[in-house]
A and B are shown apart, each in its own frame.
Chain A
Amino acid sequence: MSTFVYMTRCDGCGHCVDICPSDIMHIDETIRRAKNIEPNFCWECYSCVKACPNHAIDVRGYADFAPMGHSVRVRREEEKGTISWRIKFRNGTEKNFVSPITTKPWGKFIPKLSEEDKPNQGEITTQRLYTEPNGLNIDGDLPTINKNTFKKGVYY
């Protein structure tokens, strides 16, 4: 279905407007609160729900698997590296899930390539990509294509 905004929680900060991949979360010009301008185009990706600092956005589920009275709430904590989901069913059952979103401090292990040593001309002319061939973890270099080794038939 689509997202909707609890008007009393929204403070019009615009984080949802910035993050929405479908560009349908807009700030209402009169009341200065976020709203979903085109519910039919909502992907239900939860990007805005996760981005909202005030937890003001909720998503209506489809009637078949999430009938009225249910709720799905999410809290994404980048510092802790976790995402936590709380699902409340109409009959009162509650389920909580926590999953990791990263195993390492955020962004720390992604190299800033412009500050690293330049690849030399010899490396540029090879068919290797970044981290190859070491990153492949195999003996020898990047495999090269050889039509004679192609397998025929459908069976593995």
Chain B
Amino acid sequence: MLKQTTIDNVITAALSTGGDFAEIFVEDKISSRLEMQTSQIERAITGRDYGVGIRIFSGLRNVYTYTTDAEEGNLIEVAKRAAAALKGDDTHVQPLTREEAQIVNEITRMPSDVAYDEKVRILKEADHIARAYSDKITQVRVNYIEDEQRVMIANSEGKFVEDLRVHTRFSIMPTAKEGNQIQTGHYGPGASAGFEFLENLNIKHYATEASRIAVTMLKAEECPSGKFPVIIDNEFGGVIFHEACGHGLEATAVAKGNSVFANRIGEKVASDLVTYIDDGTLANEWGSLNMDDEGEATRRNVLIENGILKGYLVDKFNARRMNTALTGSSRRQSYRYNPTSRMTNTFIANGTSTPASIIQDTEYGIYAKYMGGGSVNPATGDYNFAVMEGYIVENGEIKQPIKGATLIGNGAETLYKVDRVGNNLAHGAGMCGSVSGSIPVNVGQPMIRVSEMTVGGTKEEV
């Protein structure tokens, strides 16, 4: 993507003032998006992101610069200007050695090779199925996204790698209406794969489920407020641990001690039932990568094992503060972001309870079938997340649907309160926003039960 001599010259310029590490990240990404509403394709856009990010370390100083002008002269100029933020002498640069990336995500059909007709046909099918579900469905939005991101990463330690990341995602949001009530449902599966992902996707399942959620929520009652046992189903339900625990295990928060999990390796931080893993090598999963954004091969990182804290997610810069090994977790949305430790596919490992037994064992509580998103303050561990489709559980049975439920709590405390872990692990796709931008991640878990959580609803305490 850049000539080797250009890379050499830029890295040399970057280290001209005493930096001890320099890296160049080149990105060329072609994206296409289609949006269908009112059963017609209403939006279609194709574009190209193109730019170069350069970072320089000097001890615990981190200088980052990026530009969309990849002419060698400009890159050297930009690198020199960034280097001017540091003071010191020329640093020795290692000769570049080309490395081959491991292949985690095999791509069968490049999305850009597939004609629009084929994509539109699938969107129409989804729209048709979602509308046919009920006459209460008044609007359906279907989106299709494809990205082909080519990256090249080279650094002063001699690393020189290239990679191709392909993402395809389908999402559907039906709107149901009855009287003055409007409710929406949503489902958005995605993969680090080519068009074969969409071809093989069970469109009927996702479109029907999304409509079913919207229609179900029309008849939902107000959610009670108070502290209850909460059962969270598998797949996207894993967003709770992503927020409650995952972000607090990123070096971004841990390195400076701004995490409740800092300096606690080997300590018990969760219920014995909890084993929490981040694995960027699951073939073609939405959060999987052949290599991270500093060129490290992704791997399987066990973060919590049977309740004991085992490790963190660590990137190259934070490793300097933490004095630990890299975990292949350094990520960025694009060349515009200085990369840092982030999650890939993070999930609670399977336990032994069956989902049916977890429901049966619950006298009174909330069952969160599908979760919306959430957020966390990593410094305090306080999290919140929204329940998209929830129910009351009474005497071991799932009863009426409820709406407007938000679950809040503290990650460190919630981890101890997991008292059931099911055996139906599944993953769900999401976009995670943090300091290095918005990136594709999977969250996952089997059905779990938390013995007590604060549920914020509109109905007074029961």
User: Do A and B come together as binding partners?
Assistant: no
Residues of A within 8 A of B (CB): none
Residues of B within 8 A of A (CB): none
